[in-house]
Structure 1
Amino acid sequence: MAKCIMFQGTGSHVGKSVLVAALCRIFLQDGYKVAPFKSQNMALNSYVTKDGGEMGRAQVVQAEAAGLEPSVLMNPVLLKPTGQATSQVIVLGKPVGNMSAQEYHRSYNMTALGVIEESLNKLKEQFDIIVIEGAGSPAEVNLQDTEIVNMRIARMADCPVLLVADIDKGGALASVVGTLELLDPDDRKRVAGIVINKFRGDVKLFQPAVDFLEKKTGIPVVGIVPYFTGFRVQEEDTIPEDTLEAGLKELPNKIDVVVIQLPHISNFTDFDPLEDEPDVHLRYVGKADKFGDPDLVIIPGSKNTIQDLVFLEKTGLAQKIIESRKKGKPVIGICGGFQILGKELHDPLHTESEIESLKGLGLLNMVTVFEPEKITTQVQAEVLGHGCFMEGLTGQKVTGYEIHMGRSTIGEGILPAFRIFERSTRETNVLDGAVSEDGRVFGTYIHGIFDNDAFRRHVINLIREEKGWEPLVEDEVLTVKEQRERDFNKLADVVRASMNIDLIYKIMGLEA
């Protein structure tokens, strides 16, 4: 039966997800069969497994770090916020309904414990080590009776806990001491180590604080992990600060790509491969005065497409996108962004919003209707469309995944962008997306389209040529897979050098 170790945090966004990925890669490098686990995840960044199950993106990244195909067993409960204090609840990859926070915590979540325990036990039977991630803080006393993601899971797995604090935010020592003070005494005994994360500066100058913390708590500090730069590990549900800070500025030899920062943006990791390209300056823009004059505009996925369309109108971003299109600049929409590009959106059953109908941007002759049944599949498709983005790629295979409740019908003057010939390993024949008559606007339901190296480079090179630049060939840049493997190994190097891995093995009762 597998040994387990769990990361819990003094709060949200302290770096638990990345540290789980790091240990998964380290244990893999050391010859162990390792898997990640998070009982309940709240995130708009999700993924579809080969068998059509939806799960949190963070556990997908952790699975990749462990060298595994993702499985919904690694994230049996996923909450996808749809509005104020309301989420779609997904259990073992399938939606069971929308619930308010009160309804979920008071009436539902404890009923999922059986599914969570069964998922964890199945993983324990298959692997040597399970690295478990908590959520938020275990010291949220108002939720302790009904929480299913922190100390209750540590007790279920009978595992030691490493408590993580983010020193970059300030107050790390107080947050550690305060968290431990609020824990039940038996739960406090499970905390076997403290990790100080995102440290900047000279570690030697921090030693007096380490000595104080260990004396005050009686718990060893097992690592001081630096604030790393120069490589990327995909974020759980927050656009990285350095990406958000990529401001409006002219950069020589860089293509200016704007992703619209929707309030309910989902799957923003779709655009990480673009950001990793050496000739792309990618910006997330949520205000009209920051729009500028980009070379390419992308409208991303959304968990509440109609409300996000209202946001675009209110902020003036809708007009900015339309003006950019009139200048001849290309516009791309992914999933919810594809729906926004159309003429009309209808939600008669209030699947996503209280608004039943709304006009879209009108950049594609298309109408979308939201339906109760959610499509979640991995797909293989071939390029069909015409125009600048598709010419030269006709018939080329692309892969990705679908997560949508809308069904879009295209009208005259536009053609489908892709033909899906396989959904979750089953043969099919489904037309997807749409391309405008001049080929400069296109949309698709396929997430991960930019993970396809040849397709991504073709889009970028098209813009390079329009700017009078020579195209880059694929051999000059890393593939997405190469980039991620390189970054996982760099992450493992940093964490191995800054954490006492031998002590962690000892805490788990394993040989290094």
Structure 2
Amino acid sequence: MSKSIMIQGTMSNAGKSLLAAGLCRIFHQDGYKVAPFKSQNMALNSFITEEGLEMGRAQVMQAEAAGIRPHVYMNPILLKPTNDMGSQVIVNGEVLGNMSARDYFTYKKKLIPDIKKAYETLASEYDIIVLEGAGSPAEINLKADDLVNMGMAKLAKAPVLLAGDIDRGGVFAQLVGTVSLLEPDEQARIKGLIINKFRGDKTILDPGIRMLEERTGIPVVGVIPYMQIDVEDEDSLSERLVGNGAVEAVDIAVIRLPRIANFTDFNILESLSGVSVRYVKSVDELKNPDMILLPGTKNTMRDLLWLRQNGLEAAILKAHQAGTVIFGICGGFQMLGRSLSDPLGVEEGGELRGIGLLPMDTVFAGEKTRTRVSGRTGEMPGPLSGLSGLSVEGYEIHMGVSTFSEERHPMTELIDAVTGERKTDGGAQEEGVYGTYVHGFFDRQEIAHAVVRGLAAKKGLDFDAAPQMDYQEYKETQYDILADTLRRHLDMDVVYRILEEGTDDED
């Protein structure tokens, strides 16, 4: 059986996912077979595996860092919030159903066998498992039935590194308070403390570190600097969604929908020199972009109503009339049609008028489309004609079925990797409106470059002068930078000793 180590945090967004990814990369570089694991994830950013199963994107990122392909066993439970009080529950990659928070709290103990099977399967195949917790282990109202923090650490017999976020202030109170709220056996499981996201002179921090170690009896194994690492983020807490940023030569505005999902679709565009990708949630923030992107969403109908009520729908239509390119993916693509119908109450129920820029109607079905696809783009009209005939690969994950009522230019001609079916997807208009169900559409560099070249040419600029970049190679470089940073600031000798010694759990 493998060795294990777990990263827990004092709060959400303390940096657990990135620290776990960094450890995965270090162990991989050191020659170990390593896999990530998070028993329960709550996020709208999900991924479809080669088997057509759905899992959280953070564990996909960590699997990439570990040099392995993602498998649904790395994240057996995924919760995708549908509103403030409930979520779609996905178990082993398949939809179990929608549950209120209270119903899920009562039900979740029934999922422990699924969690154990997933973890034990990985543990039988890998040398090291890097586990990630969720939120805080000190939620005293939830601890009794915990299956993602200390409950999971006990199940895996994993020692714990507890990370606090100094960037948000109060890191000493975070760490001391968290430890003090745990039971003695849980406190004993914490073998090291990490101060994360530090900016400044560490010598000023040293007296506080000594007091922290005295108060808790636990060593501080690392003070990790605030890292500007460009890897995929887990959810809408992502800092890339905050603020507007500067406007570059080619300016792209992504509508920051309240239930935005899979915004990682646009990461490659953000990495291109001379391109700005701004996440906007009001008419004032929209400005005059060269392209407006409507992203995926967990609730297309509700987010379309939000778009309509805050004036952004009218602003998008006005921008379209002025020649701005409009591009929708998944839920954003559905919004661009003429109508949305939900006869089964999958989202909101009833019918809703769409934005009306594509001659298309969408009906929400009871069964989710969940597959990987590959193929080529169609003959593209309008300003993005340079997209024509390029290889494309990605995945579909949606409830709706969209039907065009008029002849259209299909965005893609695809082969479904799960069923083998050949099909066309999406649609494009001469006037500069494009839409597709394919997540990851932009991920191939030739597609990203073709889009930006088209936008640049429209305003008389030459994007070909910009340096070319292989996105996969770029991501590998980022993982190596992450690992190098952790090696400099995390005592890996101590981490390996903790890994080797494990915990005092009896067999």
Q: Residue 242 and residue 419 in structure 1: after superposition, are their counterparts in 2 closer, same or farther (change >3 A)?
A: closer
For the residues of structure 1 that align with 2:133 and 2:462, how far apart are their CA atoms?
48
Q: Does 2:507 match 1:507?
A: no
- Residue 428 (structure 1) aligns with: 421
- Residue 334 (structure 2) aligns with: 339
| Aligned partners of 1:385 and 1:435 also within 8 Å | no
How far the C-alpha of 1:241 sits from its partner, in A, is 2.4
How far the C-alpha of 1:74 sits from its partner, in A, is 0.1
For the residues of structure 2 that align with 1:271 and 1:128, how far apart are their CA atoms?
34
| Aligned partners of 2:387 and 2:451 also within 8 Å | no
Write the mapping of 1:63-78 to structure 2, written as runs, cut at 5 A: 63-78=63-78
The match for 2:378 among 371, 378, 384 is 384
The match for 2:350 among 351, 356, 370 is 356
For the residues of structure 2 that align with 1:173 and 1:163, how far apart are their CA atoms?
12
The match for 1:444 among 428, 436, 461 is 436
For the residues of structure 2 that align with 1:389 and 1:264, how far apart are their CA atoms?
29
| Aligned partners of 1:420 and 1:430 also within 8 Å | yes
For the residues of structure 2 that align with 1:54 and 1:234, how far apart are their CA atoms?
17
Q: Residue 435 and residue 242 in structure 1: after superposition, are their counterparts in 2 closer, same or farther (change >3 A)?
A: closer
SS at structure 2 position matched to 1:509? helix
How far the C-alpha of 1:109 sits from its partner, in A, is 0.6
Q: Residue 345 and residue 242 in structure 1: after superposition, are their counterparts in 2 closer, same or farther (change >3 A)?
A: closer
| Aligned partners of 1:36 and 1:63 also within 8 Å | yes
Write the mapping of 1:123-202 to structure 2, written as runs, cut at 5 A: 123-202=122-201
- Residue 238 (structure 1) aligns with: 236
| Aligned partners of 2:13 and 2:237 also within 8 Å | no
- Residue 483 (structure 1) aligns with: 474
For the residues of structure 1 that align with 2:405 and 2:428, how far apart are their CA atoms?
11
SS at structure 2 position matched to 1:414? coil
How far the C-alpha of 1:452 sits from its partner, in A, is 1.5
Q: Does 2:56 match 1:61?
A: no
Q: Residue 392 and residue 270 in structure 1: after superposition, are their counterparts in 2 closer, same or farther (change >3 A)?
A: closer
How far the C-alpha of 1:243 sits from its partner, in A, is 4.9
For the residues of structure 2 that align with 1:510 and 1:180, how far apart are their CA atoms?
21
Q: Which amino acid aligns with 1:484?
A: K
SS at structure 1 position matched to 2:447? helix
Q: Residue 203 and residue 101 in structure 1: after superposition, are their counterparts in 2 closer, same or farther (change >3 A)?
A: same
For the residues of structure 2 that align with 1:367 and 1:303, how far apart are their CA atoms?
18
SS at structure 1 position matched to 2:477? helix
SS at structure 1 position matched to 2:269? helix
SS at structure 2 position matched to 1:482? helix
Q: Residue 242 and residue 96 in structure 1: after superposition, are their counterparts in 2 closer, same or farther (change >3 A)?
A: closer
For the residues of structure 2 that align with 1:242 and 1:87, how far apart are their CA atoms?
24
- Residue 9 (structure 1) aligns with: 9
For the residues of structure 1 that align with 2:344 and 2:416, how far apart are their CA atoms?
29
Q: Residue 198 and residue 338 in structure 1: after superposition, are their counterparts in 2 closer, same or farther (change >3 A)?
A: same
How far the C-alpha of 1:164 sits from its partner, in A, is 0.6
How far the C-alpha of 1:271 sits from its partner, in A, is 0.5
Q: Does 2:253 match 1:258?
A: yes
| Aligned partners of 2:90 and 2:96 also within 8 Å | yes
For the residues of structure 2 that align with 1:160 and 1:392, how far apart are their CA atoms?
53
For the residues of structure 2 that align with 1:58 and 1:250, how far apart are their CA atoms?
29
Q: Which amino acid aligns with 1:507?
A: I
| Aligned partners of 1:256 and 1:282 also within 8 Å | yes
Q: TM-score, normalised by structure 2?
A: 0.97
SS at structure 2 position matched to 1:369? strand
How far the C-alpha of 1:386 sits from its partner, in A, is 2.8
C-alpha distance after superposition, 1:26-57 (max 9, x if no partner):
00011111000000000000000000000000
- Residue 495 (structure 1) aligns with: 486
SS at structure 1 position matched to 2:221? strand
Q: TM-score, normalised by structure 1?
A: 0.96
How far the C-alpha of 1:413 sits from its partner, in A, is 4.5
Identity of aligned residues (%): 47
Q: Which amino acid aligns with 2:192?
A: G
Q: How many residues align?
A: 502
C-alpha distance after superposition, 1:218-244 (max 9, x if no partner):
100000000012x31211113532552
Q: Residue 473 and residue 402 in structure 1: after superposition, are their counterparts in 2 closer, same or farther (change >3 A)?
A: farther
The match for 1:325 among 320, 326, 331 is 320
How far the C-alpha of 1:419 sits from its partner, in A, is 1.4
- Residue 505 (structure 2) aligns with: none
How far the C-alpha of 1:279 sits from its partner, in A, is 1.6
Q: Does 2:454 match 1:462?
A: yes
Q: Does 2:299 match 1:301?
A: no
Write the mapping of 1:361-372 to structure 2, written as runs, cut at 5 A: 361-372=355-366
| Aligned partners of 1:422 and 1:429 also within 8 Å | yes
For the residues of structure 1 that align with 2:447 and 2:232, how far apart are their CA atoms?
21
SS at structure 1 position matched to 2:223? strand
SS at structure 1 position matched to 2:173? helix
C-alpha distance after superposition, 1:137-178 (max 9, x if no partner):
111011112221011110011110000100001111011111
- Residue 368 (structure 2) aligns with: 374
For the residues of structure 2 that align with 1:294 and 1:396, how far apart are their CA atoms?
25
C-alpha distance after superposition, 1:384-443 (max 9, x if no partner):
14303563544332000000000000121423211112323x42111110112x151010
How far the C-alpha of 1:369 sits from its partner, in A, is 0.3
- Residue 400 (structure 2) aligns with: 406
The match for 2:264 among 269, 285, 298 is 269
- Residue 472 (structure 1) aligns with: 464
